[in-house]
Amino acid sequence: MTYDQKFMALKDLPPTPTVPKVANYILFRKSDKELILSGNGPLRGDKIPSEYLGKLGKDLTVKQGYNASRLTGMNLLLVAREALGTLDNVDYIINIEGSVNCMDDFTDQASVVNGCSDLLIEIFGENGKHTRSALGCNALAFNICVEISMTIRMK
Amino acid sequence: MTYDQKFMALKDLPPTPTVPKVANYILFRKSDKELILSGNGPLRGDKIPSEYLGKLGKDLTVKQGYNASRLTGMNLLLVAREALGTLDNVDYIINIEGSVNCMDDFTDQASVVNGCSDLLIEIFGENGKHTRSALGCNALAFNICVEISMTIRMK
Amino acid sequence: MTYDQKFMALKDLPPTPTVPKVANYILFRKSDKELILSGNGPLRGDKIPSEYLGKLGKDLTVKQGYNASRLTGMNLLLVAREALGTLDNVDYIINIEGSVNCMDDFTDQASVVNGCSDLLIEIFGENGKHTRSALGCNALAFNICVEISMTIRMK
């Protein structure tokens, strides 16, 4: 199976994301051979599942955070697919930046961001391996539990 | 009007920023066709207007945050202008990263960072459209309410 | 002395970092002429010195934060050295992103991140000068006090 076939065979793919009405930016920018993706979150279309709202260490378990991060990764790849026509035009993943909405004493940001990292490797194999930061923060837009941005190398 | 003429016609432009004395870095780096700008804030020269100090959700209204973000954008473009001689040498804006100093329950980071995003589109039109992240954080240097970094594609 | 000789002559170099077992990513990615390094911290091998755990403004002095940031810079350069064979293959440092684990009222992120910035200039001179962001956050993985990522231009 190609990258694109593997991705489209995933269960529970959300609709392709759109920019929130309150904001003024674009979801992707191509520059030379790089595809830069805006920070995205655990949305299903214009809805945020209630189990993905709030802070790690209080409102969500690490497993829920992991699932939210995986859903965020799906949204990022849906945007990439819209930009590229097909995910088969991905050469490799360069980098992701993950910010985890959390309590002051939460220290398992890595396990949350793994939801997105694991998805990338599931779809792209060796070419899905990426550098990353996995940071904590005290608040995120719309009270989403995780926000992730991504840089992709295009074929 | 050209990009540079539009920018220089803005009201309330601050002085061109300099690096704070306590810090050890440069305000811009050119690399190939990219101009990378260090995180900047709502300063006027070496002064921070007191209405732009503190946290969203406690010390500032969203409108004040928006204005601070617009002023931050002006500082970033002043640095770009120093790097490039004129903003007419900007090809397009690639990306901005916005961090909003806020209370734990603040969720309108998008509206704050829009102050910078709107400025970019006002000056550069279609070429000002950019990807971005708009994150919350619990503290920023000098207690500024917002910090934004930017990557620009040069002509 | 070359870059590499200067670096290897540093006192107290830690062992070359490895990816934490709980995480699923790579420590560096080469893309064209850029070397991108994952967020790293003040580790010595797989151990975190206890004086580098916790939050600035409560658990650590600014001097301790500075030292932690310097150690983080050493880890980043050890990863770069593994990627490049020798630090003499560094052309220049492009950018660092520093996140400081801190209390809500801490405002001296710049002095903490200087620990890494000063190291870069000590080793690479003019070519070590870089853009950066120095942000606060309320929590970091494993309770480390600082996390820094880096982008390097390769020769």
ipTM: 0.96
- Domain span at residue C53 reads 3-15+25-154
Give the minimum alpha-carbon distance from A22 to chain C in angstroms, rounded to a whole number: 25
Block residue for tokens 């603040």: B106
Contacts of C101 in chain A (CB under 8 A): 136
Which of A29, A97, A101 has its CB closest to that of B130?
A29
Interface contacts B/C by beta carbons within 8 Å: 89
pTM exceeds 0.90, yes or no: yes
CATH number at B94 reads 3.30.1330.40
Q: Is C143 inside a domain boundary?
A: yes
- pLDDT-derived band at C23 (thresholds 50, 70, 90) equals confident
Which of C26, C36, C141 has its CB closest to that of A110?
C141
- Residues B19-69: pLDDT tens digits? 877 778 999 999 999 999 999 999 999 999 999 999 999 999 999 999 999
Interface contact C130-B26, CB threshold 8 A: yes
Cβ atoms within 10 Å, residue A114: 24
Q: Is A9 inside a domain boundary?
A: no
Block residue for tokens 């010195």: C49
Q: Is B17 inside a domain boundary?
A: no
Q: Print burial letters for C60-76: b (CB count within 10 Å at least 16), e (below 16).
A: bebebbbbbbbbbbbbb
Q: Is C60 inside a domain boundary?
A: yes
Contacts of C148 in chain B (CB under 8 A): none
Interface contact B107-A141, CB threshold 8 A: yes
Cβ atoms within 10 Å, residue B30: 13
Instruction: Specify the DSSP class assigned to residue A140.
Output: B
Report strand pairing: A90-101 vs A131-137.
parallel
Residue B93 near residue B110 (C-beta atoms within 8 A): no
Interface contact A131-C25, CB threshold 8 A: yes
> Nearest chain C Cα to B79, which residue?
C131
Interface contact B138-A138, CB threshold 8 A: yes
- Name every residue in A having a CB less than 8 A away from some CB of C: 33-34, 92, 94-95, 102-111, 113-114, 117-118, 121, 129-138, 153
Q: Is C96 inside a domain boundary?
A: yes
> What pLDDT is attached to residue A22?
75
Cβ atoms within 10 Å, residue C22: 11
Q: Is C20 inside a domain boundary?
A: no
- Residues A44-99: pLDDT tens digits? 999 999 999 999 999 999 999 999 999 999 999 999 999 999 999 999 999 999 99
Which of B36, B138, B151 has the most C C-beta neighbours within 10 Å, making it the best mutation to test the interface with C?
Answer: B138
CA atoms within 13 A on the CB side of C21: 2
Domain count of the fold of chain B: 1
Q: Is B135 inside a domain boundary?
A: yes
- Could you tell me what percent of chain B has a pLDDT over 70? 100
> What pLDDT is attached to residue B146?
98
Q: Is A47 inside a domain boundary?
A: no
Interface contact A107-C143, CB threshold 8 A: yes
